[in-house]
Amino acid sequence: MKTRQGARQRIERKETQHFPASRMRRWPPARWRSRTLSGMAKCPDVLEQPLRHSGRSRRDHYSFLETPVRTQVGSCWRMDFSMSNYTFNYSNGDDYSMYDFDGYEVPHSYRAILVLYALIFLLGVLGNGAVIWVTGFELRRTVNGVWFLNLSVADLLCCLALPFLALPLARDHHWPLGRFACKLLPSLTILNMFASVLLLMAISADRCALVTQPVWCQNHRTLGLVRGTCAAAWFLAGLLTLPSFIFRTTRLDEFSDKTTCVLDYAAVGHHQQVTELVTAVTRFICGFLVPFVVITACYSLLLARVHSKGFARSQKAIKLILVVIISFFVCWLPYHVVGLILASTRPHSDLFKGALTADPIVTGIAYINSCINPIIYIVMGQDFKDKFQRSWKAVLRGVLSDDPTSTMGDSRMKTKSTMDDHSVSTNV
């Protein structure tokens, strides 16, 4: 026994000579080490207990993941250390770092996602920029122009945030842009989702009213009403985005120089898991379920009216908006499903692990919606043969100014804004 103690003392003296205490980073930190040891003394079976909840969201949107995770199990604390990304370098006590960013190799799956982000950024900025140019400068006094202008602005904001959101994927989830950017940039994508779906709801109601209530539209469908509706949609989208902005923050890893951008619900105390679940459910209801029901009801009434009354020109505009709406729900449905799974299932379950693996993929699919609308406008604007004979501005003017109130049959009511739309399209 004395021999072992003497050997241990000699080793400790030798290590102290090479690495003075002032230059050594103790690992794990003292407060964690003491807490972990005391917790294990009180709860020796802590490692056998199921993982419940951490201070951060179990779904860090846009793949901003972090390690370690501190988890409370009853009255005990458990530390989960992920050591695969840490390297130890004792060669220089003055420049000691447990993490090497230069040695990180981007996984192949992340490379594919980064390529997808780059394509979405290029197509989205160019396409939405073109739509904003046409609607903002040439169709700004038409109802359709106001609708599509706001829709394109929402998509453009999301596309402009993509290069910054791609940084953590290329740097092993390290966030170099600071706390405010961590709050702002991911929140722009949530704002885009809510603003887009609320605007699509308003557009669907507008189309339904044009066909089913032409007299009311003649008296009340004005640019002021449409602009006020768009402002209300943006305001409500901002309110629904507030939880993401409030709870997202940066966290410095105690074991490395890595800073992560995470959703942290620690401010709500013991209600962390409930808050996360309520946030995910609210996002699904307000950002998907309610808009889906409203839009489906509007188009059911609209299609029934079109087929019964023979609205010839209406069918083209209806198909355009219908394709835009379908593309939105197809792109965002996987995102909401994965979010609900991650917020409601146990982290050790196979379902949770599968959803966590799919999270970056479904997020990339959701981003596709930000660049696809201009492509839909071009493809559905006119025949392919004519597309190559007209400029892109003429194509966009033709499709975005098309209004479904030119009718065949007993109804031929037109609003003033509709007449403005037709005057633009006839001058193309």
- Domain hosting residue 308, numbered range: 108-426
296: closest CA among 199, 407, 372, 200?
200
- What is the tally of structural domains in the chain? 1
Question: Are the C-beta atoms of residues 203 and 318 closer than 8 Å to each other?
Answer: no
The answer to the question of residue 201 being in a domain is yes
CATH number at residue 228: 1.20.1070.10
The answer to the question of residue 16 being in a domain is no
> Residue 142: enclosing H or E segment and its boundaries?
none
The answer to the question of residue 91 being in a domain is no
Q: What is the pLDDT of residue 399?
A: 57
Give the three-state DSSP class for 56. strand
Q: What is the pLDDT of residue 241?
A: 94
Q: What angle do CA 386, 382, 387 make, to 5 degrees?
A: 35
The answer to the question of residue 396 being in a domain is yes
425: closest CA among 389, 381, 383?
381
Q: What is the pLDDT of residue 57?
A: 54
The answer to the question of residue 92 being in a domain is no
The answer to the question of residue 310 being in a domain is yes
Q: What is the pLDDT of residue 386?
A: 52
Give the three-state DSSP class for 28. coil
Dist CA 77 CA 345 (whole Å): 21
The answer to the question of residue 147 being in a domain is yes
The answer to the question of residue 385 being in a domain is yes
- pLDDT digit string (tens) for the chain, length 428 residues: 555 555 555 555 554 454 444 444 444 554 444 444 444 444 444 333 333 344 445 554 444 333 333 334 343 443 333 333 333 343 443 443 444 555 667 777 788 888 999 999 999 999 899 888 888 877 778 888 899 899 999 999 989 999 998 888 888 788 988 899 999 999 998 999 999 999 989 988 998 888 888 888 888 888 899 999 999 999 999 999 999 999 999 988 777 778 889 888 888 888 888 888 898 899 999 999 999 999 889 888 887 877 776 655 566 667 777 888 888 889 999 999 998 998 888 888 899 999 988 888 898 898 998 888 888 877 765 543 454 445 556 666 665 665 544 333 333 333 434 434 443 333 33
Q: What is the pLDDT of residue 374?
A: 81
Query: Beta strands of 280-345 (E only): which ranges?
Result: none
Give the three-state DSSP class for 312. coil
